[in-house]
A and B are shown apart, each in its own frame.
Chain A
Amino acid sequence: MSTPIHNVIIGSGSAGFGAARTLRKSDDKCRITMITMDSLPFYHRYDLPQVFRGKQDWRDLLDVPPAYYDEMDIKLRRCSRVVDVEGAAQKITLAHQEAVGYDRLLVCAGGRGYIPENLTSYAGLMHGFGSFEAAMRVYRDLPAGGTAIMIGGDMVGIDLALTLLDTGYKVTLITNGQTFWPHEISQEEQARLLEVLAAKGVTIFKDSRPVGVSRDNAQHAASCVTLEDGTEVFGDVVMSFCGLASSVEFMLGADVDIERGLLVNPELRTSNETIWAAGDVCQIWHDQEKAYRFYHGWKNVRVMGELASRNMQGAHEIFDVDIEDTIGIGPDGQLRSTFWTH
């Protein structure tokens, strides 16, 4: 009897979880290990604004109950950061010094919120929104009716902003090139969309480059963002929503091609025969454009995970690179985005 194939998935977001579930459906013998830095089992990150709507118990956000992993025989390794993947040896090293071997590896490590380079030294004074804990910290630190300052305003941030406005908070938006990321839109389009937000009550500082963040715990609305022109913008929390940067550092030894993300062919395989990638971490070859492209958005990400997992098991499916990617204003006057489709 041979040892069962060990499929390892790095990441437990929509792509990773979808992949694990798909793998198990078609193979009840293989080993499946999901490695994640997150401390919770899978939940949809797009549900995180729900913490402002009463879902402060993480168990309410879970997609499947914890027992599901045992039932599906999926080994979930939480709080585990991958620091190295040795492509030749097919071995992963975790930050806590544990080595995990794999037969096939799927990288769905996603990306982390990008912070404009001139602001990275202020990261400690800013709130993230990439995990339940981060979301809860925002919830905890925002007083009732308080103000969240958002730098950029990508589609993740806009989603949160709309929730905040709906739940009695105030939002101040300092726009930049990443506003409405990942949608690539014209200046005019952006202005039109911002008007919708302004009408909803968002205070907008248009294209004013923030140069500093400060906090004075002694006073209310303690956070302050200083703009290039010297304007001080006050609020309770400061958040950067400037799109995602792929998490790929740990893949440097994996013997795969990397640009900004992991480069994969339309079958989502990397240049290494035993490694696939899906979700925000990968750039997929676009045959017409002759370029590697990111495909963000929750639906895309899930589809990628499922597709990659099928290909890991021998299929040769092609990711539909001409997926619709639009943002606009619906007949009800509300913003609509394919990014939010799920």
Chain B
Amino acid sequence: MMNKAGTDIQIAICGSAGDGTIASGDIMKRAAALMGFNVIAFDVYPPEIRGFGKCISRIRISSQQAYSLKQESDILVSLNDMHAIPHVGEVRDFGAVIYDDHLVSRVAEGGHISAHINPAQIPYGFSIRQISEQATNSARSRNIVILGYVAGLFNLPGEHFRKVIKSKFATKAQAVVDDNTKAFDAGLRAGRAVFKLDDVEVREPAEDANGAEVVMMTGNGAVVRGFMEAGIQSYFGYPITPATSIMERLAVEMPPVGGKFLQTEDEISAIAAAIGAGYTGSRAATATSGPGLALMAEMLGLGVMAEVPVVVVVSQRGGPSTGLPTKTEQSDLNLAVFGGSGDAQRIVLAPTNVEGCYRCAAMAFDIAETYQVPVILLIDLYLSNRYETVVPSSENAFAPKPRVPLKLVKGKPYERFALTENHISPRALPGEEGLMHTITGLEHNELGRPNDAIHMTMTIKRHEKLKNAINYEGLNVSKRFGDTGRVNVGILGWGSTFGEILEAMYEAQAEGISCSAMKVVMLSPLPVDALRAFFNDCDQILVPELNYEGQFANLVSGALGRPVTRLNRAIGTPMVVDEILAEVRRLYIQGPDTQDGARATGAGS
């Protein structure tokens, strides 16, 4: 682990749909953020809307930057024993298990969570329901009582929780705020009265030096924030897990500032309309998941061919087909990078954390406009739904730049697809005087007229113009962490998995293994030079990713012609840090000589 002199705890709150589990976790993480901690959190809930499905909210609170959730939780709170019992095992030794010790109905042996707590874990039973009922005349505030208890037990300042409760229920009646505050305070008293036996420590977070605004958001929330700061003008969407919350949030935020929001009849119309709007100069976007992206593939080709800026957020889930709608996976890389007909390169950005979602989303429009091409923001369910603290840009750095009107050369027809030095052609927008032209999905000449003979020239133009995107200002298209110079093991990663990769890399470093990790944020065009430099520095390259085929490994080894060791997992859940670490150790011990080719764990090589 990294230096963990400060605080680094993970709380898991587990309950049944309807227990307010996710709301409870939400308050917890926001309060922790107010206290000045770094927070990273991930909620798991059932695909079913109603019923008794399991909900878990996991929140990692740390005084130093954390990159992923921990495998083990320090605290488990049960709002529903049936659901929480299978998770007792994730609580570390001398961690805490908090539960209700006054059930309302009899259960058979083993039906109570206390039957499953191992002797090294600390049981904290208290009458959650009774306290809620006494405080609010209702058992519905159990999810708030437990927050008070946690705050009391671990000596967290109550005022931050009260502030969050107040703002969370601000739209409800005052009685709701009052009741929840009462419930919290009652839980707090109960927690303070308990003799603490666990060794979970919450220490004061480090003082925030610059006093910048810290905001707690999910990956999807960060995308929305980025979009809003970039002045998104039109959005077209179709519901699909796990991207839906982007649409829902924009539906709230865009109309008050005059944005155009439309829920379309399908994903094809969503991207089609976004391209239509993008064509008019509107900052237009859509968001979807793998199945929706598959439907959008043809339209993306049109966007590439007709050189129309548009932004597409893709939050991956388990596939193929309908697959695992509520589980995470990184198996749409091929589709995002290559999907569609023809040589249709587009820009694909894969941020690795919530802050990255925010920054990439905010920059995506300008990138799309600069290079006149669709930009795909490729994230996944784990990143979409996990919470992290983000420091948003203080002044709006992402607003659209004022448009410079094109100069029409007298006597010369306007060439929408003029061949230029940087391969980017001056773009006229409909409504602009004298610059009428038609764009098309047919291969076309500089004027936009259908033309087959110019295909090679135009294909080169469409690819070459993107190369500069690697140098787009303010965007780290790749970044190396850990040891510099020559190392034994280099871990190469992308997307949400990079958090686990960093954790594993720092642990390996602590074990004395010389290693570093590199994230690749721009998957298309690929930053080949940076990658080659990294390959040259590393005796061996490990590529962990959440898919079976090793799509990123294929992409990178194809581009560089160099072998990599793959670590592929298609398990529906985030990569396990220990598995990466074990693979790093194996490579380290084995040494580079035996690496005569890519060894696949999972996929056939």
* A and B in contact, CB less than 8 Å: yes
- A residues contacting B by CB (< 8 A) are 39-41, 58-59, 65-70, 75-80, 93-101, 132-133, 136-137
Q: How far is the CB of B125 from chain A (nearest CB, A)?
A: 5
* B583 interface hit (Cβ, 8 Å): no
Which residue on B lies nearest to A95, using beta carbons? Answer: B101
**Assembly CA distance A40 to B117 (angstroms):** 11
> Among B53-61, B106-114, B260-268, B406-414, which stretch is in contact with chain A?
B106-114
Please determine whether A79 and B120 come into contact, CB atoms closer than 8 angstroms: no
* B118 interface hit (Cβ, 8 Å): yes
With contacts A97-B106, A97-B112 known, is A69 near B119, CB below 8 A? yes
Q: How far is the CB of A138 from chain B (nearest CB, A)?
A: 12
Please determine whether A98 and B112 come into contact, CB atoms closer than 8 angstroms: yes
Which residue on B lies nearest to A91, using beta carbons? Answer: B109
Chain B at the A interface: mostly helix, strand, loop or mixed?
Answer: loop
**Assembly CA distance A94 to B103 (angstroms):** 10
Which residue on B lies nearest to A64, using beta carbons? Answer: B119
Which residue on B lies nearest to A59, using beta carbons? Answer: B94
| Residue in contact with B103 in the complex, picked from A66, A70, A97, A137, CB distance below 8 Å | A97
Please determine whether B123 and A98 come into contact, CB atoms closer than 8 angstroms: no
A-B pairs with beta carbons under 8 Å apart, 11 shown? A69-B118, A78-B117, A79-B124, A96-B101, A96-B112, A97-B105, A98-B107, A98-B114, A100-B109, A132-B197, A137-B195
Q: How far is the CB of A100 from chain B (nearest CB, A)?
A: 5
Chain A residues positioned under 8 Å from B195 (CB to CB): 133, 136-137
Q: Which of B72-105 contact A (CB under 8 A)?
A: 93-94, 100-105
**Assembly CA distance A219 to B115 (angstroms):** 44
Which residue on A lies nearest to B97, using beta carbons? Answer: A79
| Inter-chain CB contacts under 8 Å: number | 73
Please determine whether A39 and B109 come into contact, CB atoms closer than 8 angstroms: no
**Assembly CA distance A129 to B120 (angstroms):** 23
* B122 interface hit (Cβ, 8 Å): yes
With contacts A133-B197, A136-B195, A137-B195 known, is A98 near B111, CB below 8 A? yes
Please determine whether B107 and A77 come into contact, CB atoms closer than 8 angstroms: no
Chain A residues positioned under 8 Å from B93 (CB to CB): 66
Q: Which of B393-426 contact A (CB under 8 A)?
A: none
Chain B residues positioned under 8 Å from A41 (CB to CB): 119
Which residue on B lies nearest to A133, using beta carbons? Answer: B195
**Assembly CA distance A137 to B106 (angstroms):** 34
Which residue on A lies nearest to B120, using beta carbons? Answer: A66
With contacts A66-B120, A76-B119, A79-B123 known, is A94 near B197, CB below 8 A? no
Please determine whether B125 and A101 come into contact, CB atoms closer than 8 angstroms: no
Which residue on A lies nearest to B111, using beta carbons? Answer: A98
Q: How far is the CB of A178 from chain B (nearest CB, A)?
A: 27
Please determine whether B101 and A66 come into contact, CB atoms closer than 8 angstroms: no
Q: How far is the CB of B47 from chain A (nearest CB, A)?
A: 31
- B residues contacting A by CB (< 8 A) are 93-94, 100-112, 114-115, 117-120, 122-125, 195, 197
Chain B residues positioned under 8 Å from A70 (CB to CB): 118-119
Please determine whether A79 and B101 come into contact, CB atoms closer than 8 angstroms: yes
Most B CB atoms within 10 A — which of A65, A75, A94, A101?
A94
With contacts A77-B115, A79-B101 known, is A39 near B106, CB below 8 A? no
With contacts A40-B197, A96-B125, A133-B197 known, is A78 near B118, CB below 8 A? no
Q: How far is the CB of A24 from chain B (nearest CB, A)?
A: 15
Please determine whether A67 and B120 come into contact, CB atoms closer than 8 angstroms: yes
Chain A residues positioned under 8 Å from B105 (CB to CB): 97
Most A CB atoms within 10 A — which of B110, B111, B119, B123?
B119
With contacts A133-B197, A136-B195 known, is A98 near B117, CB below 8 A? no
Which residue on A lies nearest to B119, using beta carbons? Answer: A66
Most B CB atoms within 10 A — which of A68, A78, A93, A95?
A78
**Assembly CA distance A324 to B358 (angstroms):** 78
Which residue on A lies nearest to B99, using beta carbons? Answer: A96
Top-5 shortest CB links A-B: A66-B120, A66-B119, A133-B195, A97-B103, A98-B112
Most A CB atoms within 10 A — which of B101, B103, B105, B107?
B101
Please determine whether A66 and B197 come into contact, CB atoms closer than 8 angstroms: no
| Residue in contact with A66 in the complex, picked from B104, B118, B123, B124, CB distance below 8 Å | B118
Please determine whether A79 and B125 come into contact, CB atoms closer than 8 angstroms: yes
Chain A residues positioned under 8 Å from B123 (CB to CB): 39, 78-79
**Assembly CA distance A59 to B198 (angstroms):** 10
Please determine whether A80 and B120 come into contact, CB atoms closer than 8 angstroms: no
Please determine whether A98 and B118 come into contact, CB atoms closer than 8 angstroms: no
Please determine whether A99 and B107 come into contact, CB atoms closer than 8 angstroms: yes
**Assembly CA distance A70 to B120 (angstroms):** 10
Please determine whether A96 and B102 come into contact, CB atoms closer than 8 angstroms: yes
Please determine whether B125 and A98 come into contact, CB atoms closer than 8 angstroms: no
**Assembly CA distance A95 to B103 (angstroms):** 9
Please determine whether B197 and A98 come into contact, CB atoms closer than 8 angstroms: no
